[in-house]
Every structure is written in C-alpha cells, then in structure tokens.
Structure 1
Amino acid sequence: MGYTKGLLERQAELGHPVRVGVVGAGQMGSGLIAQIQRTPGMTVAAVADIVVEKAESALHNAGVTDVLNAGDDIDAAAAAVGEGRAVAIRDGLNMPKLPVDIVLEVSGVPEIAAQIAYTCITHGTDVALMTVEADITVGVLLSSMANAGSTVYTICRGDEPVECLKLVEYAQDLGLEVVAVGKGKNNPNIPTSVPADNEAEAARKKMNPRMLTEFTDGTKTQLEMAALSNATGFPVEIEGMHGVESNRDQLAQMLIPKAEGGILNGDRGPVVEYVTGDVAPGVFAVVKSTSDVVTHELDYLKLGTGPYYMLLRPWHIASIEAPLSIGEAVLHRKADFQSTTMTTEVVARAKSDLEPGVTLEGMGGNHYYGWAVPAETAREQNLVPIGLLMGSELTSAKAAGETLTYDDVRVDETRPLVAMRRLQDSLVARGVL
C-alpha cells in the first residue's frame, strides 16, 4: 500500500506516468478509466472496445481531451501513445502492441478476458483482470505462464476474492489460525432465476439482465469463492458451501467446528464460505487464537470473546480499488491475486428440465447455474467446468438440478478458452501445474 509516492517518483525518473491500456468501455470500464485518470502517477493511454466510439467517449468523459480514434490503425495508435496522446482502438488483442506498461481487462466476458491475458503474457506485457470467470477457468495456466517469466498476471483489488485473501494474509501475519474466510452475499440464492425474472430490477440498476442473473442464481458467488479457494488452497467443506444466514455478531460462533458449537465439521482445516445477512457487502475471516496471552489481549481490546474472532472488512469497492493492483504490479512486480492451485471447480447444474439439441447459453442465462465442488470430484465425475459450456450442444436430457458432464454435451472446441483449458488440464494431469 502507499503507492502514490512510488508512482510519482517513477514518473519523475521516466518522464511519464504509468501508461495503462484498458480493454472494455462499458459501465465498469468507464468508471475505471475515470478512476485511473485521477490517480497520481497513472494515465489511461489507450482504451479498446469493439464499438470504438465508446472507447473514445469513455476517455472524453474522464476528462481526456486529446484523443486519437485510431480504430484498427495500430501503427498510428502506437505512435500517438509514444507522443503522450490517448488513443481509442477497436481490438483489445492489439493492446500489447502499444507502448503501454500494463493492460487492464474489464470486458466482463470470460472468453475475451482469457485471450487478453494470454496475449499480454506471451508479449511480455503485464496484465490485470477484472473478470474472475476467466481466472476460475484457466487462471492456473495463466499464472504459471506469467510466473515462469518476468510478466505480472493478477486479478484486481476491489473484488471480494482479493479482499478475502488480504484478510487471510493479515491474519497469518499476526499468527492467528484461519478457520473460515469468505464474503457476505447481498441476496438469497435463487438457483432457478432467469433473465426474464430480473428485467425490471436490471433496468433500475442499469445492468444487463443476464449479468444480474449471474448474481441472483448464485453463480457469481460460487465463482468468486472458488477463485479464493484456488488462490489459498482452502477447500469448500461441502459442495456449494453452507451458505447460511448469519449476521456479523454471529459469525465467530457459527463458522467454527461443530464440537465447539458451530456448523463446520472442522476436519478439512481452513475453508472457504459465504453467508447471507448483514455481512454484505463486506468480506470476513473467522480466526482462532491459539495463545492464552493473545486471547486475553484480543478480549481486552474488544475484538470479541475468544478463542474465535471475526476479522471484517465491511466494504469492497470494485473498480475504485483496481488501481492498487496496478501500483503493486508496476512498482513491486507482484500480483495481488492469482489462482495457483486447482482446489475447487465450478460446474453447472440445470435450472430446469433440458432436452437434447439445446445450444447452451452462457452464465446468467436460462439453462444452468454454477456450483462449487472439489476439483477431484469434478475430475472423477467428468464434470464440465462452467466456463466451457457457452455455445455447447446438449446431447443428453438433463433434469432440473442435475449436473452437466462431458458425456452430456458437445463442447465447442473452436473457442480459444476451451483450447487453453485443455492445455491446463493436460499440464495438471501430468503434474506440471
């Protein structure tokens, strides 16, 4: 933390701020562009969007007046960035060809995010993702590629998995034993939720109904906590997690072993969880003091009544915090968050009875919702990672609530994301990852 001083010193030394290339100029991308533009020692040098006018508009709305709409002319774009001008381009895959210091992906589309990350890493350009769906599918591959060289690959600060990890690191640095870590979910799970159910609320929130559905059907929470699991190596105790209702003052008595009055079996070590209740929009870690002296001190300091305590960060502010990860990558050459283990997989369960021949929609659609399971269970049962299902053809009838296996679908092997996942699976099977 405290990146501003270092960023300004870097700018004085090099003669220019950190040049950030942003891929995606939607609602979150536009907000992120504005935030970076007002961060000392950083500037948005380029924005890519398939609707290039949106990229240009996002820069203008962030107060950038001298913008070159380069479209597909990458040579002109590169020259302009080198001269200190901001540019708008059409194809985010061209971003590493520009003289930018780091590429920030905020497309929200797993297929695009994974390709952006892969392309940046192979070009030796640092890359930060806002789309956790890509990381949960191929993050182990991407992080291993980056870590084998000198490129930084990271998921951005501000989303729950990263802020959960920071709480884990904080607890471990204090010598406290982590028992459970996770997030508060804003609403109860409605696994059968479909976009048509959410159109009115989506309109009020100015969201795409499918994006909102990914939250209401529980998929987003399953993905986020699986990413946290793969970054920490902490498993989910049961498939889908307990997902109990709990308020802040109950967590340190609830998410502890059954033998001590909680709900956890306590035989798997630290676990990843989520709760509904007043914890949202925060993240938490339930920790245990194993020292009588420390327990007495924590009780005296009113953290609770030991030996179990709750550490709470009562907010996460998404894209507003993303520049922190840029500072960490550029100044310290470190990632804030990476999936480095295959501990948990998110698979798909049918929302309703599905017939053969259906072309499956993506996450947040009408056909399936996400469900976190141990990675070894997914391998043993031949379950399809949820990120690979969009555009696949269903070849077997599936009843509502049934989980989709590779035997039930014809996966679209033309998708780059599928090719990346096949490579990751092969390397994991061989023990390389």
Structure 2
Amino acid sequence: MSLIAKLEARAASNRPIRVGLIGAGKFGSMYLSQVRTTPGVHLLGIADLSPQRARDSLQRVGWCASAYAATDWRDALDTGSTFVTDDASALIACGAIDVVIEATGHPAAGVRHALLCCEHRKHVVMVNVEADVLAGPLLARRAQEAGVVYSLASGDQPALIAELVDWARTCGFEIVCAGKGTRYLPAYRQSTPDTVWRHYGFTDEQVQSGDFNAQMFNSFVDGTKSALEMAAVANACALTPATDGLAFPACGADDLPALLKPVDAGGVLERSGTVEVVSSLERDGRPVFRDLRWGVYVVIEAMSRYVRECFAQYGLRTDASGRFAAMYKPYHLIGLELGTSVASVALRGEATGSTGGFRADAVATSKRALRAGERLDGEGGYTVYGKLMPATDSLAIGALPIGVAHGMELVRDIAAGTVVRWQDVRYDAKRQDVCVRREMEAMFAVREKSFKKLTNKET
C-alpha cells in the first residue's frame, strides 16, 4: 500500500500519526505549511526556544490562531489542535507522540534531543544535519538499541541523494559519485555574516521576511553546509570523500557523467564511490549551462557492453565511452517534502536515509589567521568553515568537528586555511555533545586499529 493510502486509512480510522516538531525556523516553517493539509497526521506540539517565534511562523504559513491554541499535549489531543512550548524535553516525553522532528540546526541540541527520543522510545527525523555529522553513527546505534527509527529528513538533499543511491544499488549499478549542486566560488570560503547576502543573491525584501538567519545562510555560502551534507551522505551510503575534501567543480546536468568519474577514466575524481558538490558558477563567475544549483545527482557505471547499449537506447546522457551515466533531480523542496519521512518512519518503520558507519567528517578550518585567546564562532561565522575529510584522516590528526567549534577558546595561533584540532582549543570535556562525540571517536578509533591489525595479519 502506498504511503498516501496508509495515511488516508489512518485518517479514516481516527488514528493519526502524532508528531512533535522541535524548531520553527525556515525548515520547520515549510513543514508547518504542509502538515495541515496532510491526511492522517496530527502535529500535536511545537517546541521552540521562542514560543512567539513559533506562533509567528504558524501565522505566516497560514494557520488560524485557534488551530494552535491548545494549552498542553492533553488539550491538543482532546481538541485535535496544536500546543506551543519552549520545553523540548517535555514535548519528547509526552506519551502521545509517535515521531519527533529535530529541526533546530543546533548540533548540541540535536544530540540531546535524539538521546531523549531514544530514552522515551520516539522515532526521530533528524533535519539537523549538524548533529548527524557530529555524532550520527552513535545516535543511530542508540536508536536501534532502543527499537526506534533514526532517519534523515526527506526534502533535504542528503536524504534525496540517499534515495538515488538506494535506487541505483537496488538496480545493480555501481556508484561512481553522488552529490548535489550549489552556488560556489573559491572566494566564498572567507564569507562572513556581513557579506553573505551579497554572495547569496537574496533581495532586502526576502531577507526582511523573517525566515533568514545570516550566520546560518553563510554556512551555505562558505562551503560548510556542503561539507556537512556530503559527510552525512557518505556516512549513510558507505561512500568515501576525497582526501582533500570537496573540489566544487563547475558542472551542469549534461556534463555530470563526463566530469564526475575517476581521473584514470578521464574525469576529476580521486576515486570511484565518492561524493562531490558541483558549482552552478564557472570560476570567472559566469553561470553554468543547465546548472544543478538546487538539485541532487548520482553517477553510475555500466559494467557490461549490453548495459551501455541500453543507456544509449533509452536516451541517457553518458560520457563519450557510454560507460558512465547520471540520474538527477533538479530541485529539492526542503521542509515541503518532510512529510515523506514522517510517514515512512511511522507507517513502514523505514528511514529515508540513515547514518551507518563513520566514513566522513566535517572539521573546523580557519578562514583567516587566528590568535591564541580568540573564540571560535562555529558554522557560518567569522573564524572557521567546515571542511569535508575522510573520517580516518580526521581521527588520525585529532581534528575538531565543526559541530562543536562554537565558543571554544584557542590556546595557540592558527595559520589561515589550517584544520583546527582538539589540542588547539580549551573545552569543557563534560559537555554532553563533547562527551558523545569523543565516545564515538573512541569507538571508531578502536575499530580502525582492529581492522588494521587484521589486514596486517592477512597480508
């Protein structure tokens, strides 16, 4: 039975999926605009540090005030309405909720809320890619142990890429490369919240609409969000990033299979089975023809002459050899598509992309020369950006993940363009997100040592 048929059946039997949303920012607001027209789903409650901001979001996307006038979850349950609170922990703990959507964008909050979901046996849809990359492999394990589903968020690019990878592998294809498009130039690395709107192209009217946070949007411009999202894809799809991270080659939809293949096959990739983000801008700033700025893609390889012939017969765009082809989706609708994850998790017990191993990391890298005593300001800020790195390399050098690089004080000078390490900062080792991250690092470091020992013995 299709998801919509299952939802309609739940609506007909008055057994809706009961959902709690944490975070009423841009992604959360987009989901709010759709959930009220989705059958079989009841948004029981919304938690936001500013309840008024949540109410403003509800009003902005078209809810009438009576629809979110419930005083608590029991009142919401009785009246079929929604309650708004600033207490995310209480929202997670309330007995009626089936699925929690974590959409704060704050990595420490995401870790805390995911662990609470495991404690209270709630499925969790992790919109918060920052938290997923910081500790997702460990969080997914905890969720499995608790008997709940930990899922990436449909509509966001990592989940849509994971869907394409799943399709390709289910069809028997080898994955050459998977990724997304974005607007990127090398100079964007030094972008700050003061310069972001010039680079992004939004009008003053759009910025003033209430949905836009300069530091958050700057993380898209300076490459941090791309690093985070590709780390999430690599960890969910068992792919390995290039040694030096993302190259952001300028590439349109038609050129994907010609460019995104291994160097030894005439492409630009260090290896097959990797991730990459393509830019919608040529290096001189000209727009790329048929760019994929808003889209996602997967490049696959034909392993036989017969399959290459089929590619040609059915009009797939391939490289000159006919061996490599691409499938892509030109757009993603972010929170407007999130209902797919909620329905899949609640009705099928299936994640729409789920973190597996620790294959990739996003690490704090200096935007400029930094001095001892300065405090890092994290994702999208003035001091560091997030760089994609193979997890084995991150563990080897003790790299500081971008997800915790906020408020930490440097204990030594850092040259521009340098990966910051744990030993370079002063931090609170008892902080929950730090503890969870360090536990995950220790767990995978032991695995890596065991694997190397086994490999050496076999050799």
2:33, 2:336 within 8 Å by CA — same for their partners in 1?
no
Rounded Cα–Cα distance in structure 2 between residues aligned with 1:384 and 1:253: 35
Aligned to 2:110: 113
Rounded Cα–Cα distance in structure 2 between residues aligned with 1:380 and 1:33: 43
Return the offset for 1:238. Answer: 2.9
Rounded Cα–Cα distance in structure 1 between residues aligned with 2:421 and 2:246: 20
Answering whether residue 177 of structure 2 is matched by residue 180 of structure 1, we say: yes
Rounded Cα–Cα distance in structure 1 between residues aligned with 2:27 and 2:161: 21
For residues 79-117 of structure 1, what are the alpha-carbon distances to aligned partners after superposition, in whole Å with 9 as ceiling and x for unaligned? 213313321111112112221111112212222222111
Report percent identity of matched pairs: 30
Instruction: Return 90-99 or 211-220, whichever deviates more.
Output: 90-99
Aligned to 1:346: 362
Rounded Cα–Cα distance in structure 1 between residues aligned with 2:258 and 2:117: 45
Instruction: Return 208-217 or 187-196, whichever deviates more.
Output: 187-196
For residues 367-393 of structure 1, what are the alpha-carbon distances to aligned partners after superposition, in whole Å with 9 as ceiling and x for unaligned? 001111111111111111111111111
Answering whether residue 75 of structure 2 is matched by residue 80 of structure 1, we say: yes
Aligned to 1:251: 256
Rounded Cα–Cα distance in structure 2 between residues aligned with 1:157 and 1:344: 21
SS at 1:195 equivalent: coil
Partner letter of residue 272 of structure 1? V
Rounded Cα–Cα distance in structure 2 between residues aligned with 1:204 and 1:132: 28
| Correspondence for 1:139 among 128, 131, 136 | 136
Partner letter of residue 280 of structure 1? R
Answering whether residue 262 of structure 2 is matched by residue 262 of structure 1, we say: no
SS at 1:82 equivalent: helix
Aligned to 1:74: none
Answering whether residue 392 of structure 2 is matched by residue 376 of structure 1, we say: yes
Rounded Cα–Cα distance in structure 1 between residues aligned with 2:29 and 2:11: 24
Return the offset for 1:64. Answer: 5.9
SS at 1:134 equivalent: helix
Partner letter of residue 293 of structure 1? Y
Return the offset for 1:237. Answer: 2.1
2:70, 2:81 within 8 Å by CA — same for their partners in 1?
no
Answering whether residue 421 of structure 2 is matched by residue 391 of structure 1, we say: no
Partner letter of residue 172 of structure 1? R
Aligned to 1:73: none
1:68, 1:80 within 8 Å by CA — same for their partners in 2?
no
2:29, 2:335 within 8 Å by CA — same for their partners in 1?
no
Shift in alpha-carbon separation, 1:299–1:66, aligned structure 2, 3 A: closer
Partner letter of residue 234 of structure 2? S
1:8, 1:17 within 8 Å by CA — same for their partners in 2?
no
Q: TM-score, normalised by structure 2?
A: 0.88
1:82-231 superposed matches below 5 A: 82-83=77-78, 84-98=80-94, 99-189=96-186, 190-198=188-196, 203-206=204-207, 207-231=212-236
Rounded Cα–Cα distance in structure 2 between residues aligned with 1:16 and 1:64: 24
Return the offset for 1:414. Answer: 4.6
Answering whether residue 34 of structure 2 is matched by residue 18 of structure 1, we say: no
Rounded Cα–Cα distance in structure 2 between residues aligned with 1:48 and 1:346: 28
Rounded Cα–Cα distance in structure 2 between residues aligned with 1:205 and 1:265: 39
Shift in alpha-carbon separation, 1:391–1:291, aligned structure 2, 3 A: same
Rounded Cα–Cα distance in structure 2 between residues aligned with 1:193 and 1:386: 16
Partner letter of residue 351 of structure 1? K
2:108, 2:404 within 8 Å by CA — same for their partners in 1?
no
SS at 1:211 equivalent: helix
Instruction: Return 408-417 or 199-208, whichever deviates more.
Output: 199-208
Rounded Cα–Cα distance in structure 2 between residues aligned with 1:410 and 1:40: 50
Shift in alpha-carbon separation, 1:62–1:129, aligned structure 2, 3 A: farther
Rounded Cα–Cα distance in structure 2 between residues aligned with 1:185 and 1:2: 32
Q: What is the root-mean-square deviation in Å for CA atoms of aligned residues?
A: 2.0
Q: Which runs of 5+ in 1 are unaligned?
A: 71-76
1:24, 1:49 within 8 Å by CA — same for their partners in 2?
yes
| Correspondence for 1:279 among 292, 296, 303 | 292
Aligned to 2:285: none
Aligned to 1:316: 332
Partner letter of residue 78 of structure 1? W
Instruction: Return 198-207 or 356-365, whichever deviates more.
Output: 198-207
Partner letter of residue 52 of structure 2? E
For residues 329-385 of structure 1, what are the alpha-carbon distances to aligned partners after superposition, in whole Å with 9 as ceiling and x for unaligned? 001111112221111111111111111111211211110011111111111111111
Rounded Cα–Cα distance in structure 2 between residues aligned with 1:276 and 1:215: 12
2:11, 2:39 within 8 Å by CA — same for their partners in 1?
no
Return the offset for 1:69. Answer: 5.6
Answering whether residue 427 of structure 2 is matched by residue 405 of structure 1, we say: no
SS at 1:210 equivalent: helix
Rounded Cα–Cα distance in structure 1 between residues aligned with 2:415 and 2:440: 30
Partner letter of residue 402 of structure 2? I
For residues 7-33 of structure 1, what are the alpha-carbon distances to aligned partners after superposition, in whole Å with 9 as ceiling and x for unaligned? 1212334x2321111111223322211
Partner letter of residue 405 of structure 2? L
Instruction: Return 396-405 or 59-68, whichever deviates more.
Output: 59-68
Shift in alpha-carbon separation, 1:332–1:249, aligned structure 2, 3 A: same
1:7, 1:327 within 8 Å by CA — same for their partners in 2?
yes
Answering whether residue 302 of structure 2 is matched by residue 289 of structure 1, we say: yes
Shift in alpha-carbon separation, 1:204–1:377, aligned structure 2, 3 A: farther
2:157, 2:229 within 8 Å by CA — same for their partners in 1?
yes
Q: Which runs of 5+ in 2 are unaligned?
A: 281-290, 451-459
Shift in alpha-carbon separation, 1:186–1:204, aligned structure 2, 3 A: farther
Alignment coverage as a number of residue pairs: 424
Partner letter of residue 80 of structure 1? D
Return the offset for 1:205. Answer: 3.7
Partner letter of residue 327 of structure 1? A
1:356, 1:396 within 8 Å by CA — same for their partners in 2?
yes
Shift in alpha-carbon separation, 1:279–1:96, aligned structure 2, 3 A: same
